[in-house]
A and B are shown apart, each in its own frame.
Chain A
């Protein structure tokens, strides 16, 4: 009971902090937060494959990019395209791409899965680069109108205002995270973990292995697409370098690893750490790569379970002591 109450208190405090955050820190850090939150969601979708299903997606940017591009293109070419459908288009594009690729992807695991996703990720990247007429190539699609949040007759909120957009983006991301959290707790979520731990046994138990993998893949692609859609609305510019390149595929892997693969919230922590690191390092030194590189090396050497793992260890130790005393 007490535990339940404290959980409620945590939630309320967290939401209050999120609500007053932009008023306290100003526009700049509000935008930093939105960037972090988008990548947090994106990294969680990657972890759905990496942490939960045990396969490494080396080309996850294709889902993110598909979402970002379809939202951007929809807003560019369809006049008066509303806000929520713009998000849904992104999610749909990510899911569609996953659906198209899943017949190939569900057959493999391990290195082959990583390489196949890499191949398709790169293929889509170079096609987007070359197909300038639609994607704008290196320069990307930008300057499209950002629709307002509109409930006819009730309210119309201007989304070009950064603070308004913050509330919108954070709400959407929290809802998405809650849905994903819920998804991992369903029996189906456990099944996915089972695939990771012992695919053979799941097969023998009579569950349909390829279908299970495919559904998880589509869910992951869909939410990565939504993250991409929010990114497109946030940046008002989508270009291949930034949503489809290998760096964008790599970022969530690093975030998930640094945060901790074993936990649902690990990747979000990882995203926070990397964004903070980037913001802080440049104020001190121009050697951003050096700092990043050293952080990766140190995390691998000394915190193999990621930061969340490290915290859990510390917590376990602490509680252990408490019991003893």
Chain B
């Protein structure tokens, strides 16, 4: 492969890696919205929180894999508690109240992180074995980014299995399309809501841990990915996992090739894309309900 071809191929894989990361964050966001109608602005904060948990676990145990196991669960539990004790109380007041509440939660998490870990950025080492490079046909590529893609696919697979092959998944899907009806059938929807919220934050948590060695863990860690994930959810259609998947991948590639060919306009592309899609399909590509 010539260096130029190698560059184009590598850009495609970079785009894929970022897209998959984006999908992990966006999938939780879109599920929560689809089911509960909550625009969870604190979602990316859980992503960041998990990064910090990961840092702590690694400092204590020195093991990345343990961090990958523990940190997302810890973030997920935080999510469960937030849903149970805060969001549920204001559910009756409508979406705007919930929105404002999530802003409040976002600010509190940001401050808690600063009190707990300080404002400096934390560097996290890649786990041994994944920190090398792989060489194929004259092109070198870091193994860790391939691992990110692989892990995201695994999570996606598990998610699809749960959603489409289990009873719980069936209830969740039903609740996404009509929560009232599911509730009328005698299913404890508040419990399902809580679990989905927790699962959504767990997904964001997984993304947080996976991203930690690539990016830097600092209080601004969630800024960009939060906004990007939001765009993914909006363009893909609220509540649509498939939409989120395709749009996340597309935005990942748009970002990589945008930087390659029109670096000056790269940040504009994403929002231009969003504005154009929404102008023609106000509910996003796969969105149906208000």
Contact = CB atoms under 8 A, between A and B. Distances in A.
The size class of the interface chain A forms with chain B is 35 or more
Interface string A102-128: 001001101110111011101101110
Contact of A293 (B90, B108, B231): B108
Given A115-B234, A123-B275, A290-B108, A299 B267 contact: no
A254 B89 contact: no
B104 A293 contact: yes
B111 A287 contact: yes
B274 A119 contact: yes
A1 interface: no
A130 B100 CA distance: 30
Interface string A281-315: 00000010110111111011100100000000000
A296 B103 contact: yes
Residue with the highest number of chain B CB atoms closer than 10 Å, among A50, A250, A261, A300: A300
B264 interface: yes
Interface string B22-41: 00000000000000000100
B153 interface: no
Contacts of B275: 116, 119-120, 123
A90 B283 CA distance: 32
Interface in A248-293: 250, 253-254, 257, 261, 287, 289-290, 292-293
A300 B93 contact: yes
A295 B278 CA distance: 34
Residue with the highest number of chain B CB atoms closer than 10 Å, among A110, A125, A290, A299: A290
Interface string A226-263: 00000000000000000000100010011001000100
A56 B108 CA distance: 24
Interface in B88-116: 89-90, 93, 95-97, 100-101, 103-108, 110-112, 115
A296 B234 contact: no
Contact of B268 (A126, A292, A301): A126
A254 B108 contact: no
Contacts of A287: 111, 115
B290 interface: yes
Contacts of B95: 111
Nearest to B101: A300
Contacts of B282: 107-108, 112, 115-116
A129 interface: yes
Given A301-B89, A304-B97, A110 B108 contact: no
B116 to A, nearest CB: 12
Given A118-B234, A122-B274, A126-B271, A294 B108 contact: yes
A122 B96 CA distance: 20
Nearest to A288: B111
Mostly, the B contact residues are helix
A254 B106 CA distance: 14
Contacts of A250: 103
A290 B111 contact: yes
A315 to B, nearest CB: 22
A129 to B, nearest CB: 7
B90 A304 contact: yes
Interface in B209-246: 227, 230-231, 234, 238
B60 interface: no
A293 B100 contact: no
B220 to A, nearest CB: 13
A127 B269 CA distance: 10
B288 to A, nearest CB: 12
A257 B104 contact: no
A304 B93 contact: yes
A122 B271 contact: yes
Interface in B234-273: 234, 238, 264-265, 267-268, 271-272
B223 to A, nearest CB: 10
Contacts of B274: 119, 122-123
Contacts of A114: 39
A294 B104 contact: yes
A254 B283 contact: no
Contact of B86 (A120, A289, A297): A297
A296 B101 contact: yes
A70 B201 CA distance: 42
B185 interface: no
A130 B265 contact: yes
A127 B268 contact: yes
Contact of A300 (B97, B265, B272): B97
Contact of A119 (B86, B89, B93, B271): B271
A112 B97 contact: no
A293 B115 CA distance: 15
B39 to A, nearest CB: 8
A118 B274 CA distance: 9
Residue with the highest number of chain A CB atoms closer than 10 Å, among B95, B112, B234: B234
B31 to A, nearest CB: 16
Contacts of B110: 289, 293
Contacts of B264: 130
Given A123-B274, A293-B107, A110 B97 contact: no
29 contacts: A111-B39, A111-B290, A112-B282, A112-B283, A112-B290, A116-B282, A118-B230, A118-B234, A119-B275, A123-B271, A123-B275, A127-B268, A130-B267, A246-B227, A250-B103, A257-B96, A257-B97, A287-B115, A289-B111, A290-B111, A293-B103, A293-B105, A293-B108, A294-B104, A295-B104, A296-B101, A300-B101, A301-B86, A304-B97
Smallest CB-CB A-B distances: 7 pairs: A293-B107, A296-B104, A112-B282, A290-B111, A297-B104, A293-B108, A123-B271
